[in-house]
Every structure is written in structure tokens, then in C-alpha cells.
Amino acid sequence: MSPEIPIYSINAYLYCKYRYYLEEIVGLSRENKHITKGALINEIKTKKSSTKNWKKIKKIFVASEKFGIYGYIDNIVKTPEKTKIVEVKKGKSIKPFESDVIQLVAYMMAYCETYSEKPENISGILKYEGSKKTFRIHFTEKRLKKLYDITRDIQKIKNGTYIPSSMYTKKCKECSLFEICQPSEKEKSKMKIMPSKFDKEPIFIFKHGVFIGKSGENFQISYGEEKVSIPSYKIYSLNIFGIFSISKQAIELASKNNIPIIINSSYGKNISVITPYFSKNNFLRIKHLKKVENTEFKMELTRKIIYGKIKNMEIFLKKKKIKINFLKYKKALLKEKEIGKLRGIEGAATKEYFEYYKKLIPENFTFKGRKRRPPTDEINSLLSFGYTILYNIVYSLILSIGVDPYFGFLHTTQYGRASLALDLMEEFRTLLIDSVVLSVINKKIIKKKDFKKDVSGAIFISQSAKKIFVEQIFKRIKKKHYYKPAKISIEYIRIIEAQIRMFQKAILDEMEYIPFTIER
């Protein structure tokens, strides 16, 4: 068996199988105080470790084909006859944890195989910093059998034939992935979803001629004499509109931090995406594709997304004192048994919504109804550009969570179209874009002079007004709103992220998707 399992991950597996799955398959990992401290201790011990008459070796690569494992051993001390593999752990344990023992046995086994060493010449030393306790570990049949069973189990998770599930245990309190995992002792359908707390931002660049470079772990964005430095850990996507250049080092920094670089034309048309990978999680992608082919699931999810969109349009108009009643659409949604007809309901409701939306536009602007390509008036131009911004935000969040953005349900699969991003932005169009369009024109933040007509007669927003408009959209997406599934008020951007996580759990059959709707 080729060595494909990193030895460090065995510890995560023994801590919690679901955690292993999230870290190694989904590709999530969050540093917490415990992880950081553990890493630090290892570093300090590596520097200080010294034993008289023994030769010290640091950081060597080992692998075992028999177990399919590989890794780096930080500390080895040896004489010509004997070898000790030293593993230092944080914690105050007064007896060795089984997970630490098995991990150390894995390193010892891989060392034997790599250096053709006899097992009887190898021993392991397990040290706990907190309790200052040291334990000598040897090979036993029981431990080797356990290691063998674990590596077989991990292989099944890796090749997608087994997916562990989350379950609340006392370990969860200390787990760095708690917010993402949301373990529950309750039924799956009643599981709560929580947005994660990491404070990353999408970055939008609109100026032509910008250069994106790298300095240390920061992106250096230069435009003539202007220079801005942004730490990579604060970003989850780079969204570029117009002409730019970028260094290879900046692309590498983005790839290393799983930051997609989304390249758009200056009018907002998506041209390309540089992304390290959609998702390491092939099993999730297979499940996702199966759900796309599953008519019942597809109908149900489409129905819910459309319901969320219609309800938000209705409440939005009612808040603007427009008397409307979309009950007919909501009732029709429940009855329809064909996906095409569901899409038809969505189209009809949206058309009617824009008939009312028209009434909210000040007289000095023209808006004869929604026209996508090309926008023929200022309002359509703002709406189209705003939806592009929202699309970029949803698309990059989907990528960062590890879901494939190209397979949707309400929106059909088409060549190069990120249908899932279009699906999952539906609930937010009115709340985050239509409302901001009204706000910027009513408050005269954007005026008629901020638009220009091109040779084809299409109306486009100027570069300077784009920046102002995007700032206003960001003000809105940073606003907090009550999020019922988590029973807390959080920023809209975190709500979008939580909805994507909910979708992810829905395709894994771990919970039902509930559309996000606002209340009156």
C-alpha cells in the first residue's frame, strides 16, 4: 500500500473520527490555543533536547508501505545498537493517552521500515510537558493490530466508502472545530447550524493597472505610487475587475492559503478563477452530484430556495408600504411537481416584484423593468453590477467551505456556470442588493452623472461610482440580522456562510435545508 496517511493525522482520528474527516478530507483546520501550544512545545523541545553519549537526530522522514503511513520524526536519539524516538506532548497527563501511544508506535514502525531496523532495537519515549511525566513505549501485538485496523479505517474514509458522523462528547468542548462541526446528541434534522467566527474578508479591486505582489505573508497591492499591504490570513477571496498583473509569488501565497483569485471584466463578467482546488472532499462531491440527479431532493431544495426568495421580496415590499400578496406563488410552490414549473413560479414572482420595485425608483431615473444583458438604464446597471458582487461573495465562500460551486438545483448545469452560487444567492438578492440600489439613489450617493453609455447603447456605472456602490453593499452585508437557526444576530455575510454550511449538511443528509427569510 503506498504511504498516503500522514502519521500526525492518526491522533486526530483517535481523538474523533469526524474531526479527522473534517481536517483531512474536507480540508478544514482551525488553530486553537491547544494546537498552537502543542506545536510550540515541540519546537522548544527539539532545540533543547540533548542526552549524553547518544547521537541526536532531528526531523527525519519515515514511511511504511505495510501500514500506508508517512511522516517526520522530530526527535531521535540513538547509539549504534539502540534507537529512541521521542514524542513530546502538551498536557498534564499522568498516564499515556492511547492516541499518543498509537501515533508514536506508528512513527516507530515507519522508522523500522524506512531504515531496515529491527523492532527490538527501537523504543519510544512519550513525554508530557504539563505533568513532567515520561513513559517508555514498546511494540506489542495489540498495539500493532490496533494501528493496522486504524489505517484500514482511514483508507475507507479517504476513498469515500465510509464517512463518520459527528456526535457530541465531552471532547467537543475543547475541539477547535466545534463551531463548524456543531455536534448534536439530537436527531439530525434538529441540528443547529452556527456560522464560524473567523474574520476574513473578500477583497475587491476595481482600478485598471493594479499590480498584486507578495511580501512575506502579505499581499502588496500597488497602483502607481499607492501601496496597500493586506495580510493573507485576513482574506478569503481576491476579486479583480479589469486589467491587472500579478506575480507568481502572489499566486503561490493565494494558493497556500486557499484564497481563490476571481478575475472579472470591468463590467463584471466572470473571466476566470485561479483556485488551488475546489475541494479535497471527493466524497462530498459524489454525494453532491447524486443529489443533483435525485429528483425528489432537487425539487425540495429548489422549492425552498424559491420560497425564501419570494418571502424576502414580499416582506421587503411590505416594509416599503407596498400592498402586495405573494400567497398565490407560495401556494403554487407547494403543489407543483415539475422542476420546470417551479422555475416558472420563480420567474413570475420576480417579474411581479419588479413591477412594484419600479414604483420605488425616483422620477429622475428610468427603470422599465429588469433587463439583464446589456443593462439599458441606470437601475438595471446597478442591479446587474450588484448581483455580480453578491455572486463573487457567494462563489468564493462556497469555494472556501469546500463545496463545488458548479452544480446547482434551481439553476441548471451549464458549461462554465457556477449554478450553485446562483442558487444560494437567491435568498439575498433583495436584501443585499435591491435595497442598496434604492438607498444609493434615494440618498443621492450615486447620481445620474455616474453612468455612461457605450456604443451599443448599454448603460454602465463609472469606475469611481462602482467603488462607492461596493462600499455601500459592504456596509449592508456587515449589518447584523437575527439568524433563526443559530438563535443569534450576526452579520449578513456570516448568514450567507452559515446557509452554505447548511446546504453542505443537507447534501450529506445531516440536516434539512431551511431558507433564510426575514420577518416583518
Q: What Å distances lie between residue 246 and 219, 252, 262, 298, CA to CA?
A: 10, 11, 12, 40
- What distance in Å separates the CA atoms of residue 308 and residue 300, rounded to the nearest whole number? 12
**Nearest distance from C-beta of residue 172 to ligand SF4, angstroms:** 3
Beta bridge partners of 226: 223
Structure-block grid coordinates of residue 212: 498584486
Q: Which is nearer to ligand SF4, 19 or 200 (CB)?
A: 19
User: Please, which residue, 183 or 213, has the CB nearer to ligand SF4?
Assistant: 183
User: What minimum distance in Å lies between the beta carbon of 30 and ligand SF4?
Assistant: 10
Compute the least distance from the CB of residue 182 to ligand SF4, in Å: 8
SS3 17: helix
Q: Distance between CA 440 and CA 443 in Å, rounded?
A: 5
CA–CA dist 121, 100 (Å, integer): 20
**Pairing mode, strands 261-264 and 451-453:** unpaired
Task: Please identify, using beta-carbon distances, which residue of 180 and 436 lies nearer to ligand SF4.
Answer: 180
Check: CB of residue 413 under 8 Å from CB of residue 515: no
Please say whether the beta carbons of 451 and 401 come within 8 A.
no
**Taking the complex as a whole, how short is the minimal distance between the CB of residue 285 and ligand SF4, in angstroms?**
21
* Nearer residue to ligand SF4 within complex by CB, 172 or 284: 172
200: left (phi over 0), alpha (psi -120 to 50) or beta: beta
Q: Which is nearer to ligand SF4, 19 or 127 (CB)?
A: 19
Contact 511, 499 (CB under 8 A): no
Closer of 15 and 206 to ligand SF4 (Cβ): 15
Number of residues that make up the chain: 520
Q: Could you give the CA distance from residue 54 to residue 512 in angstroms, rounded to a whole number? A: 59
Q: Residue written as cell 479591486?
A: 205
Environment class of 418 (CB within 10 Å of its CB; exposed 0-12, middle 13-18, buried 19+): buried
Output the smallest distance, CB 176 to ligand SF4, in A. Answer: 8
- Residue 14 or 63: which CB sits closer to ligand SF4? 14
Alpha-carbon distances, residue 169 vs 182, 269, 381 (angstroms): 12, 47, 52
Q: Is 319 left (phi over 0), alpha (psi -120 to 50) or beta?
A: alpha
**Closest distance to ligand SF4 from the beta carbon of 434 (Å):** 38
The least CB distance from residue 22 to ligand SF4, in Å, is 6
Q: Smallest distance from the beta carbon of 512 to ligand SF4, in angstroms? A: 20
Helix axes 98-114, 8-15, angle to 10 degrees: 150
Contact positions toward ligand SF4, by CB under 6 A? Answer: 16, 18-19, 22, 166-167, 171-172, 175, 177-178, 181, 183
Phi, psi angle pair for 437, to nearest 5°? -60, -50
Q: Which of residues 167 and 327 has its CB atom nearest to ligand SF4 in the complex?
A: 167
C-alpha cell at 174: 475543547
Cβ 168 to ligand SF4, closest distance in Å?
A: 6
Minimal distance in Å, beta carbon 450 to ligand SF4? 49
Closest CA to 177 of 344, 381, 34, 286: 34
